[in-house]
């Protein structure tokens, strides 16, 4: 079964630190991977999309990497701010034109 | 923000009653999706649509039906609500003419449904 896993489920870090969120998936034959942010009571906001042919994507302080051979992606957040507090989800298209989501990592930035 | 409106935002209903949730988009996007989000399960796809009157089942479609008679509206119906359908329901659209795996998904703010 194709699955997406995000560990840890929750993470707290002091403001200003750089941090890495992890996503692992069970099948290396993916089409692409997306990272989303979800604020409480809100929908998901797309942050970055990495095509299978790419190794990374960057947007501002965010950098997402993809290693298909090891079944892993990371989301790097530089110089964290309290406004970065949210739940971060990754989702994978395994080639069946539908996204499979992880259960997310709830990030808290401590001022 | 992508122009996606879900209604109602909150609903409480009794077991056995029919419920319809509405998703309205102003982006004229072809692809629309219904997901449910539950603790410990993440988001799971219920149904999706690739165009008017073109719908298909997702991984958790039992007990749900959908209709799409216009590009802008995608309706999710629970024919006879059960307590297991208590959840937060999200509508999503893709930002291009491709399926979601090929372009970013945009989500509405969700409908919180409680079945008592």
Taking the Cβ of residue A104 and every Cβ of chain B, the question of whether any pair is shorter than 8 Å is answered with yes
Average pLDDT over residues A79-85: 97
> Is residue A19's pLDDT more than 90?
yes
What CA dihedral angle connects A6, A9, A14 and A19, to 10 degrees? 0
With 0-12 / 13-18 / 19 or more C-beta atoms within 10 angstroms meaning exposed / middle / buried, residue A107 is: buried
Percent of chain A with pLDDT over 70: 98
Q: Using H for helix, E for strand and C for coil, what is the string for B1-37?
A: CCCEEEECCEEEECCCCCEEEEEEECCCCCCEEEEEE
Taking the Cβ of residue A41 and every Cβ of chain B, the question of whether any pair is shorter than 8 Å is answered with yes
Q: Could you say which residues from 3 to 22 on chain B have a Cβ atom under 8 Å away from some Cβ of chain A?
A: 4
Which two tokens mark B22?
């509405």
List the single residue in A46, A93, A104 with the smallest CB-CB distance to B42.
A104
> Is residue A29's pLDDT more than 80?
yes
List the single residue in A4, A32, A103 with the smallest CB-CB distance to B101.
A32
Among left, alpha and beta (phi > 0; psi -120 to 50; other), residue B28 is: left
* Contact between chains at B106 and A46 (C-beta distance less than 8 A): yes
Phi, psi (deg, nearest 5) at residue B15: -55, 135
Residues of A in contact with B104 (CB under 8 A): 34, 46, 49
Percent of chain B with pLDDT over 90: 77
| Comparison of pLDDT for B106 and B23, the residue scoring more | B23
What integer pLDDT is reported at residue B19 of this predicted model? 97
CA angle A92, B100, B9 (to 5 degrees): 100
* Contact between chains at B104 and A31 (C-beta distance less than 8 A): no
Q: Could you say which residues from 34 to 53 on chain B have a Cβ atom under 8 Å away from some Cβ of chain A?
A: 40-45, 48
Query: How does pLDDT run across B52-102, given as a tens digit for each residue?
Result: 999 999 999 999 999 999 999 999 999 999 999 999 999 999 865 566 556
> Is residue B40's pLDDT more than 90?
no
What integer pLDDT is reported at residue B100 of this predicted model? 56
What integer pLDDT is reported at residue A63 of this predicted model? 98
Taking the Cβ of residue B100 and every Cβ of chain A, the question of whether any pair is shorter than 8 Å is answered with yes
* Contact between chains at B107 and A32 (C-beta distance less than 8 A): no
Taking the Cβ of residue A75 and every Cβ of chain B, the question of whether any pair is shorter than 8 Å is answered with no
* Contact between chains at B102 and A89 (C-beta distance less than 8 A): no
Residues of A in contact with B4 (CB under 8 A): 43
What integer pLDDT is reported at residue B22 of this predicted model? 98
Percent of chain A with pLDDT over 90: 79
Mean of the per-residue pLDDT values of chain B? 91
Query: How does pLDDT run across B96-108, given as a tens digit for each residue?
Result: 556 655 678 899 9
| Residue among B69, B3, B6, B2 nearest B36 (CA) | B6
With 0-12 / 13-18 / 19 or more C-beta atoms within 10 angstroms meaning exposed / middle / buried, residue A71 is: middle
């Amino acid at each position: 079964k194709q699955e997406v896993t995000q560990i840890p489920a929750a993470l707290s870090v002091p403001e200003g630190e750089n941090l890495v969120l992890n996503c692992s998936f069970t099948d290396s034959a993916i089409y692409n991977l997306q990272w989303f942010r979800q604020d409480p009571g809100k929908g998901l906001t797309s942050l970055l999309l990495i095509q299978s042919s790419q190794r990374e994507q960057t947007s501002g302080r965010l950098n997402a990497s993809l290693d298909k051979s090891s079944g892993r992606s990371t989301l790097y957040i530089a110089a964290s701010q309290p406004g970065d507090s949210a739940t971060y989800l990754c989702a994978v298209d395994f080639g069946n034109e539908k996204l499979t989501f992880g259960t997310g990592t709830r990030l808290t930035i401590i001022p | 923000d992508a122009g996606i409106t879900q209604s109602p935002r909150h609903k409480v209903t009794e077991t056995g009653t029919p419920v319809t949730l509405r998703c309205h988009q102003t982006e004229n996007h072809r692809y629309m999706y219904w997901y449910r989000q539950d603790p410990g399960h993440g988001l799971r796809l219920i149904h999706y649509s690739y165009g008017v009157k073109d719908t298909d089942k997702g991984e958790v479609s039992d007990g749900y039906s959908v209709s799409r008679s216009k590009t802008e509206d995608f309706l999710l119906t629970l024919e006879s609500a059960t307590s297991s359908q208590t959840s937060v329901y999200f509508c999503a659209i893709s930002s291009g003419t491709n399926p979601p795996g090929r372009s970013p998904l945009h989500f509405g703010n969700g409908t919180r449904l409680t079945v008592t």
